[in-house]
Structure formats: C-alpha cells, structure tokens
Structure 1
Amino acid sequence: MSPRGVATPDVRERLFAAAERIVERDGPGALTSRAVTTEAGCAKGLLHAHFAGFDAFVAELCLDRFARTATGARALSARAGQGTVARNLDTVIRVLFDSGGLALSALAMTRPEATARIRAALGGTAPGFTAIQEALTGYLAAEQRLGRVAATVDPPTAALALVGTAHHLLMTGGADAPDPRPAMQRLVGALLGAP
C-alpha cells in the first residue's frame, strides 16, 4: 500500500485494472470503492480523491475501455492487406469482451447515474460504439479496394451489424451467459461470406 502523502503513479489505470479484476473474479456486485482501493493496494480515499464519486469512477472506467477499443479499431486501416480480414476484425471485437466487458456493462446498467454519465459522454465527443463502427467501415472499405472483401459486402452495413451485435451481447449477457466470442466469429464469417 502506498504511504499517505506519497504520489501513486498511474492512479486511474491502477484503479481501473483493479476494478476489472474484481468484476471478473467476483462479479459486478462485489465492486465497491473500498474493494477497488484494497485490490489496487492504495489508500482508501484515493478513488474519491480522483473521481467525483463511485458512479463517476464506473462511468470513466467504461468510457476508458470504449476509447481503447476505438483506438484499436482505428488502427485496423493500417493493417489492410495484412493477415486475414476475419482475424483483424476479431482482434478489435475481442477487446470489447475481454477485461470484463460483459461484467462492466452489467455493472454500469445497475448504476443509473453511471449510465447517464456514459450516455452524456457518448452523446458528446467521447469515442464509443459510433467511433468503432466508423473505423470498421473504413477498414472493410480498404480491404474491399484490395479485393480481400467481396464487392457484394456493404462496409457500413457490415460494420453496423458487428457493432450492433457486440452491443447487444454486452448489454444482455450475464455471468451465466455463453461466451459471446464464438457468435461474433460466426457473424464475421457470415458477413464476409466465409464458409
């Protein structure tokens, strides 16, 4: 534990990673500010010193993970022509479901104030599903120009189907739900016309 008065490096990420571990291990119901700071090995008040309450923390955690996924999706265009299209898409899609994505979505949905904060941020400039959809559209169009995606595939519709399905699985999945990644892989295959 960091001694009082000593700066804790990378506070946000340290607390976010601790929250993800708790949610993955014990479920969203176990996540409290005290559990997060204990898991992170830092002072009990650190979370409230850096966030305007626990709902703000949950919202910022979800928004941070959306931003990471959007950044990964934007990087796809540079990978056009490399690897396989299905594997490249899978790399981005998996980020949504890894690191407790399902459990974090469930957590945010049980906290109305956190949900309102997330919606407000996504309605503004925060990257979310729309940014991911736009990046996937650009990537699929680039692969189509290279002849690696069939001319019959409509990139904006395929991207919408991928993001919409991921959103649905995140919002309706629970701890006892089947792993959503195989369903997403089948969807990618269906959209790309793979056998």
Structure 2
Amino acid sequence: MAHIDLGLDEKAHPGIVGPLRFRPETAKPLGELAEVLLRAPHPTLTPGERELIAAYVSGLNDCDFCRSSHAASAAAQLPAGMPLVDQVRADVGTAPVGARLRALLQIAAAVRRSGREVTTGLVETARTAGATDLEIHDTVLIAAAFCMFNRYVDGLGTWTPRDPEAYARAAGHLVANGYLAI
C-alpha cells in the first residue's frame, strides 16, 4: 500500500500512474518531460535507446516499477528486444551495444551516482566513440530525470506489478500513444 492515500485502486494505477492521477497539476509537466526526453524526434538517439538509458538508470536505482516499465518499452522498440535489455542491465561492459551507446550508458551511471561523477574522461570517451554533444546532454538529462522519477515512485511506496506481461502490455500502449496518454 502506498505511503499516502492516493484515493485510487493501486492495482489499477501502479507505479508512477497513481501519483500522477493524485496530482494532475504536476502530472502534466512530468508527462511532457518524459515525452520530450524519450519519444520526441531526435536526430540520432532512437526512442529505444533513450528508453534503455531510462531502464538502466532505474535498475541502478533499484526502482522496480521504472526499471520494468522502461525495460519493456525499450525492448518493444529495439530490434534485439528484451535479451539486449537484460544484457545491458546485467553488464553494460560486455553487452552487445556499440561503443557510443556503451559510453553514454556509462555517463548515465555516473549521473546516477552524482552529477559530479561525469568526468571529462567519460565525456571524451563518449566523443571518441562518436557521441555528439546533444547525445551527451540528453543522456545526462534522462539520467537525472529518472533519478527524480525513481525517487518519486519509491518515495511514495507505490504498488509494483510482478507480472512481466503487464509491463509488455503497458509498453505497447506507451509506444502507440506516448507519455501524455498515461
């Protein structure tokens, strides 16, 4: 049960959905932020790659709901699907991703620990691997935003489904309709 009474059936409104329904005034800008970060047109980072960054950071933060939901969304949008997402979550160093994405995920992990852990060396490694300044910027912002989203979900003690199929269904809805339709 959530730490506060959201006035909702928590199983019908799991994870972040309940708090967003509870406080629509904050739900709108949070939904808009997620939409821009993860789905808006981007010259080089695909929606699947951006969802993978969100899932990776959420996993590092031990936020079960966000990790599972964004892993399912990433898997739905990446050609290699859930096996790739699982490999990244298990060991980004050996996962079958390109050097550019691996470097961006390492930057995301640094942001998750502290923004000050994003070093010149990490940025130079990403640039050498082909990452643009826009990709580095957006990776830092996605990682920082997901630290906030993870703490929002877990800080309120929201209910988290355990059935992977529930996340797959939600991912299908999300891919089709976006974050503003949550």
TM bucket normalised to smaller? under 0.3
Structure of larger gyration radius = 1
- The TM-score with structure 1 as length reference comes to 0.26
Asked which structure has the greater RCO (Cα within 8 Å, sep 6+), the reply is 2
- The TM-score with structure 2 as length reference comes to 0.27
